[in-house]
Amino acid sequence: MNILSEFEKMDQLFTSFGGLEQGGITRLLYSKEWKAAVDQLIQIFEQEGFEVQKDAVGNISGRLVGMTHPEETVMSGSHIDTVVEGGHLDGQYGILAALIATKYLKEKYGQPKRSIEVLSLAEEEGSRFPFTFWGSKNFFNLADKKDVETIEDAEGVRFVDAMHEAGFDFRKDNKVRDDIKAFVEIHIEQGKVLEVEGKQIGVVNGIVGQKRYTVRLKGEANHAGTTPMGLRRDAVVAISEIVQTLTARAEEIGDPLVLTFGHVTPTPNTVNVVPGEVEFSVDTRHVDQKILNTFADEIEKTIRSVAERNQMDVDINLWMDETPTLMNDTIIEKVLNAAEKLADGNYKVMPSGAGHDSQIFAKHVPTGMIFVPSIDGISHNTAEETKTEDLIKGIEVLAEVLYQLAY
């Protein structure tokens, strides 16, 4: 089997489901485009002689049954949904890579000892409805029906109605599978690290934990012309000090710690008034929980210190506190060996700064991740792309890992 031609054929086919004139895809959960892609994948699984499995919410898989240990499953895949005006690789590449790798192994080595299952997860992005990881959370019976019963998309369509219209429903059972011995997800990096460092494969050792805050500083709004500098309680000046101090500290601690002030809203936000209030977000991430916690303490202490020094009231709301997720050491080792063998050692061990379905899986089954580079680090964008040779190398590495796990 020619992996390159197989990938190009499959990628062109699936990109047509929600494909945009300017390139890229919009394929949202339970949309017609999403349903067409799911149906096409089921058809391919059946054509390949894989056992098709599907659950109530739209997760589907194709299973190549093992010869000596059919009850033990090695699984690989990703999510089939996209963001609005997203690329053709985020999620889709992970499913197609798993499918092609499994077909390649079947043709070259025949039936595996353990079953190999290609998984398509219904949703990860949260782009249509305000709920993420619907697919993987349902896979492990972690989704709460109450969380989605009343939510709607931007057009006012209720989650429940869209689900029923697509032919799916809530789970009726609490059963969680116990046959999965390994889950391996391959994904584009969605960042610039591999490209900048000239590495072809990323060996993911963990997915970062995240802490997100909404902070409100309240000083005093006043006339911009008649209020002397020494008598001001300027909220923008205060946040400027916070940003500068904490950014310098994050740079001092170094990678992989990141810090972002992504949303800043001053009030009254007009040219001739000293801003008396500012609301801003803080997002910080690290793969080490201890370092993340320590830096979060510094964030809060710095904000309170600056507020006190500037005679301001402050409200700090920590509304996201996700712990880091580490990948399985045994699978990391197998990915390292595969990258050493097939990519001539041209790899980098690295954390993922973005969330993935693997962070849900890793809490329940041995899990590993493989990255391939993203051109200019672009993702969640119609311009999202990866060099063909890197995509193919990723599939080859994945196939070798699946061979080691299943054969």
Residues making up the binding site for Zn(2+): 79, 90, 125, 187, 380
Cis before 268 (ω within 30): yes
State residue 170 phi and psi, 5-degree precision. Answer: -70, 155
Instruction: Provide DSSP, 51-118.
Output: EEEE-TTS-EEEEE--SSEEEEEEEEEEE----TTB-SSTTHHHHHHHHHHHHHHHHHH-S-SEEEEE
Tokens for 22, please give them: 């300017």
Tokens for 93, please give them: 């590449």
Q: How far apart are CA 402 and CA 346, in angstroms?
A: 20
Instruction: Provide DSSP, 239-257.
Output: HHHHHHHHHHHHHHH-TT-
Query: Residues 6 or more apart from 32 whose CB is under 8 A from it?
Result: none
Q: How far apart are CA 356 and CA 183, in angstroms?
A: 13
**Residues annotated as binding site for allantoate?**
212, 272, 285
Query: Residues 6 or more apart from 92 whose CB is under 8 A from it?
Result: 11, 14, 15, 25, 78, 80, 82
**Residues annotated as binding site?**
79, 90, 125, 187, 212, 272, 285, 380
Tokens for 173, please give them: 């059972």
- Which residue, chain included where needed, has tokens 């590993």? 368
Q: Are 318 and 212 in contact (CB under 8 A)?
A: yes
Q: Kindly list the distances between the CA atom of residue 338 and the CA atoms of 12, 111, 136, 404, in Å, as whole numbers in the listed order.
A: 28, 21, 26, 9
